[in-house]
Amino acid sequence: MKKARVLLMTPNLKGMDDGVNRIQPSLGVMLIAGMLEQHGHIVKIHDTALEGWDHRIIVDKKKKKVMIGQSDEQIKKVISDFSPDVLAVSVLFSNFLNSAHNIAKLAKEVNSNIKVILGGNHISNAAIDYQFAVNDPRSNLPDYIEDLENPCIDFAMAGEGEKPITQLVDCIINKTDNYSNVPGLIKKIGHKKYLINQKSEKHDVNLLPRPARHLVNMESYFKIGAFQSAKARSNRVLSVMCSRGCPEKCTFCTTPQMWGSSVRWRTTENIMTEIKEDVEQFNIGEIQFLDDTLTVNKKNLYALCKELEKVGLPWCTPNGTKVNYHLRTQQEMYQAMADGGCYQITLACESGNQRVLDHLINKRLDLNTVYPAIERAKKAGMLVHTFWILGYPGETYEEIQNTIKFAMNSGADSFGFAILNPLPGTPIYRQVMKEKLWWNGRTMDDMMLRSSLIKVDGFNGPEEFEKFVNETNMKANLLLKERDIDRFKYKYGQNSEESHHFQRQT
């Protein structure tokens, strides 16, 4: 069988001109690259935002939005120089779409025979919403898949893509019309008509390849130092995922649809082999675990912590952990994490109102467990960062104020107050679409950190709410300085500029 030249690209980034824009190597892209290499294909990974990090074009002066990344000429040169048979573009969020579509257009200009595949979280969620639209004409969801109406995009892939993409690439390079057997494949077959294959069974995560970090410009990511955790102990960060799946069903989250409700853990040996080898190869100074629910399986977590203690590097959980897992042995669990090197745990609290948690988020969380969890984590020796979300559909102005008050009285070291953004594929997105809850002039294309897209009780417009949330973050993250200056210095260092930098990021 023939072997293909496959170019995997992540698109330019839409960000804030006066804010902190995050960038890190994509684990999903690196895993797919590893799988393609195992099958003998020639693979290149290219991050257009990374390689053009200093190239910024203002796309909306009023909203201070910029496009970060390479120019069209530079992107075309990358494509032309590598001369791929297949170009796969990863789209994590919908606001990357324009850039992804532009890459597809540029590829066809270089060589119309290049087959372009779109993948990532976005397309999986778009397929879910399309099915809802077909079954409910009153949903106000589009009755077509926008990406496949773009003639420059040949295929899209939904679900876990490591194994299916190798099948698709084999079909393309060997010119076999066997597309109906490729799990998760979406292909246009007529006007607003698509072949949508059933997604693949969930992968055994222990059989996945190592992330192909050797194909990534790791030194440039280290130099920028804008990894997921707002205030890292080192710029040389290794992002690791130990598991896939989440048993929770929060209405704002796409994880259960993408990765499933059953949590699949890698063996401790599998995880530690990756960590030890990559720590040595890339001179890593910190590990960040990107699991959606690292603490759900206590036995696996304890085994991991024991091995991490031997490595001796600081680590944290920037994606957040659920507050009320293992309440009876929570102190013991947090101590095991701290002993293993965890310097900061993030607790996903979301709201300070039981009604919002129960009826708007569908989060199985008793508010009475939040304050004790924060205290236990601090007692174990960890810093505690907390996540909160403001502006849910149906949340009142009074409830927003309650959340802020509840958070500020919690004793947490730092706070991330986020604005609710309705992610496609989620129940909240479908509610927003059906009830037409958008602010006037705002669409999914405006989705960025702290951008307000949907109407919020008590506010007259998105800019007013955005200002309110920014000021809330600044105020909340100065509390530690007022309450415990030594702990504040331990968290941020002696430099007040570092503290200000963190507050802008949180």
Residue 401 contacts by C-beta under 8 Å, 6 or more apart in sequence? none
pLDDT for the residue 502: 45
- Let me know if residue 409 belongs to a domain: yes
Q: What is the DSSP string of 124-169?
A: HHHHHHHHHHHH-GGG---SS-GGGGSTT--EEE-S--HHHHHHHH
Strand-pair partners of 419: 390
Residues 143 and 29 reside in one and the same domain: yes
Task: Decide if 426 is inside a domain.
Answer: no
Whether residue 79 sits in one domain with residue 177: yes
Residues 168 and 288 in one domain: no
At 122-136, the pLDDT tens digits run 888 988 999 999 999
Question: CA nearest 472: which of 404, 374, 419?
Answer: 404
pLDDT of residue 166: 95
CATH number of the domain encompassing residue 123: 3.40.50.280
Q: Are residues 64 and 175 in the same domain?
A: yes
Rounded CA separation 192/93 (Å): 22
| Length of the chain as a residue count | 506
Looking at the fold, whether 190 and 331 belong to one and the same domain comes out as: no
Strand partners for 90: 119
CA-to-CA distance for 47 and 17, rounded, in angstroms? 20
Domain end residue (candidates: 196, 219, 242): 196
Residue 238 and residue 160 in one domain = no
CATH at residue 409: 3.20.20.70
Q: For helices 268-282 and 298-311, give the axis angle rounded to 10 degrees.
A: 30
Residues 159 and 237 grouped into a single domain: no
CA distance 473 to 467: 10
All residues at 6 or more sequence positions from 18 whose CB lies less than 8 Å from its CB, including other chains: 64
Q: Which two tokens stand for residue 108?
A: 């066809």
Q: What angle do CA 152, 153, 154 make, to 5 degrees?
A: 115
Q: Other CB atoms closer than 10 Å to residue 456's CB: what's the count?
A: 26
427 part of a folded domain: no
Do residues 344 and 389 both lie within one domain? yes
Cα gap 68→49, rounded to integer Å? 6
List C-alpha distances in Å: 193 to 141, 190, 254.
Answer: 16, 5, 25
Please give the pLDDT value at position 17.
Answer: 77
Instruction: Kindly state whether residues 166 and 233 are assigned to the same domain.
Output: no
Phi then psi for 240, rounded to 5 degrees? -130, 145
Q: Cα–Cα distance between 429 and 421 in angstroms, integer?
A: 8
pLDDT category at 327 given cuts 50, 70, 90 is very high
Cα–Cα dist 171/275, whole Å: 34
* Residue-number span of the structural domain to which 280 is assigned: 228-420+459-505
Q: How far is CA 334 from CA 116, 305, 370, in A?
A: 46, 10, 14
Mean local confidence (pLDDT), 202-210: 94
Q: What is the pLDDT of residue 260?
A: 86
Q: Among residues 170, 162, 246, 166, which one has the least CA distance to residue 208?
A: 162
Could you tell me if 160 and 239 lie in one domain?
A: no
**Range scoring the smallest mean pLDDT among 10-19, 121-130, 335-344, 451-460:** 10-19
**Cβ(145)–Cβ(153) under 8 Å?**
no
> In the prediction, which pLDDT does 504 show?
43
Residue 216 lies in a domain: no
Residue 207 maps to a domain: no
pLDDT value, residue 217: 97
Cβ atoms 130, 176 nearer than 8 A: no
The angle formed by the CA atoms of residues 12, 68 and 438, to the nearest 5 degrees, is 75
Q: What DSSP character marks residue 282?
A: H
Q: How far apart are CA 237 and CA 240, in angstroms?
A: 10
Residue 413 has pLDDT above 80, yes or no: yes
Mean pLDDT of the chain: 93
Task: Give the model's pLDDT for residue 495.
Answer: 53
The pTM (predicted TM-score) of the whole model is 0.93
Give the burial string for 157-173 (b: 16+ CB within 10 Å, else e). Answer: bbbbbbbbbbbbbbbbb
Residue 458 structure tokens:
């008590």
**Phi-psi region for residue 267, left (φ > 0), alpha (ψ -120 to 50) or beta?**
beta
The whole-angstrom separation of Cα 365 and Cα 371 is 12
Q: Annotate 479-505 with three-state secondary structure.
A: HHHHHCHHHHHHHHCCCHHHHHHHHHH
Residue 432 located in a structural domain: no
Cα(180)–Cα(143) distance, rounded to whole angstroms? 22
Q: Is residue 302 part of a domain?
A: yes
Pair (130, 11) in one structural domain: yes
Is the per-residue pLDDT at 496 higher than 50? no
Backbone angles phi, psi at 81, to 5 degrees: -65, -40
User: For residue 164, is pLDDT > 90?
Assistant: yes
Contact 88, 32 (CB under 8 A): yes
242 and 112 in a common domain: no
Q: Which two tokens stand for residue 44?
A: 């290149």
Number of domains in the chain: 2
